[in-house]
Structures are given as C-alpha cells and as structure tokens.
C-alpha cells in the first residue's frame, strides 16, 4: 500500500474519532440522577434483608439533594465513571440530618434509567447508632419547587431521635 493511502486512512480514522468524542463530550449522560426518587431501605444485617423505611429525595443539578419526606435532611452528590463526559453508573451521596449529628453515605449504581441500588450507611456522631442498609432508589418524577432554605443549627428543630431509613419514618 502506498504511504499516501495509509496517511489518508489514518487521517479519516482520527477525524471520525475526534468527531465522535466531541459529540459525546457535550452530551449529558442519560443516567443522570437529577429528579425525585423514592428510596426503600432493606436491613443488611438480617439474612432476609428485612424492609425498613421509605423516603423520597430530590437530586438537584447543582450536586445537592434534600429529603422531601423527612425534615432537615440533605447533602451533596456526585457521579463518577469512565465515560468521556466524566459521568458513569455510580452516584456517591453524603448528607446530614438531626441538626448535623446524623450522617448518611451511599454509593448507588444505576440498573436502568429509573432504578439505582447500592449500600447505604447511616450513623450518629460518637456512634450510638450505626446502620448498614441496602437501598433501592426508584425515579418517581421531577422535583417540585426549590430546595428548602437551610435553618441554622441553633434554630433547627430539636433532634427527636428519628433516623431517615431505620423504619421509624415513612413518606406521607
């Protein structure tokens, strides 16, 4: 094969790759969690994975989330993966409740566009309460209204001992 033919073929392949990458770089991943989700927790410490509490949360495009069925509950989320746009199938979550003494952490993986699942950990400062759960998150719609305005801890509702997914609270 002539050198000019090889050069032309390589140039066409390189141009096709660049055009494909440029198109995917500007596109948003279809598995973005932004929207309203229903979280169902299952007790990871039991052989039968006993169902626990159910709560609704809203994921906002700015990387924050808040609970719509549990008071003063929210945090941050981000998505990490190996596609070119930097998004992937895993959504990492951290958050607080109970005036900041209650804490949450999760790594949820997309199963499809309407379903995520993964481990959820919930604990209180100094660890008087620690929970490992398995979570399923089902997309149920779009968020209604903006995130609630954070209330300073000194004015925040008193900690009543409830935890978002321990089975003591469920959506109305």
Same domain, 86 and 7: no
- The pLDDT value recorded for residue 44 is 83
Position 100 in a domain: yes
- Residue found under tokens 């089902």: 138
Same domain, 39 and 114: yes
| DSSP characters over 89-115 | SEEEEEEEEGGGTEEEEEEEEEEETTE
Same domain, 117 and 87: yes
pLDDT band at 172 (very low <50, low <70, confident <90, very high): very low
Lowest mean pLDDT of 7-16, 71-80, 83-92, 156-165, name the range. Answer: 7-16
25: exposed, middle or buried (Cβ count in 10 Å: 0-12, 13-18, 19+): exposed
Same domain, 10 and 75: no
Domain limits for position 59 = 35-141
Position 137 in a domain: yes
**How many distinct structural domains can be found in the chain?**
2
Of 154 and 30, the one with more pLDDT: 30
Which tens digits make up the pLDDT trace of 38-85? 999 999 888 888 999 999 999 999 999 999 999 899 999 998 765 555
Whether 58 contacts 34, CB under 8 Å: no
Whether 83 contacts 29, CB under 8 Å: yes
Same domain, 23 and 42: no
Quick count: other Cβ atoms within 10 Å of Cβ 129? 16
- The pLDDT value recorded for residue 134 is 94
Position 105 in a domain: yes
Same domain, 22 and 43: no
Same domain, 76 and 5: no
Position 163 in a domain: no
137: exposed, middle or buried (Cβ count in 10 Å: 0-12, 13-18, 19+): buried
């Amino acid at each position: 094969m002539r050198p000019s033919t090889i050069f032309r073929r390589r140039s066409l392949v390189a141009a096709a790759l660049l055009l494909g990458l440029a198109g995917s770089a500007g596109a948003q991943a279809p598995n973005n969690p932004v929207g309203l989700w229903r979280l169902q927790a299952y007790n990871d410490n039991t052989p039968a994975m006993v169902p626990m509490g159910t709560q609704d949360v809203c994921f906002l495009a700015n990387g924050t989330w808040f609970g719509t069925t549990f008071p003063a509950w929210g945090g941050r989320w981000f998505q990490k993966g190996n596609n070119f746009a930097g998004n992937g199938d895993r959504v990492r979550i951290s958050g607080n409740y109970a005036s900041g003494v209650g804490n949450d952490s999760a790594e949820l993986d997309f199963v499809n566009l309407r379903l995520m699942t993964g481990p959820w950990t919930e604990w209180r400062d100094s660890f008087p309460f620690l929970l490992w759960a398995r979570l399923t998150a089902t997309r149920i719609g779009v968020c209604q209204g903006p995130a609630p305005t954070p209330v300073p801890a000194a004015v925040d509702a008193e900690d009543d001992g409830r935890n978002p997914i321990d089975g003591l609270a469920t959506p109305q």
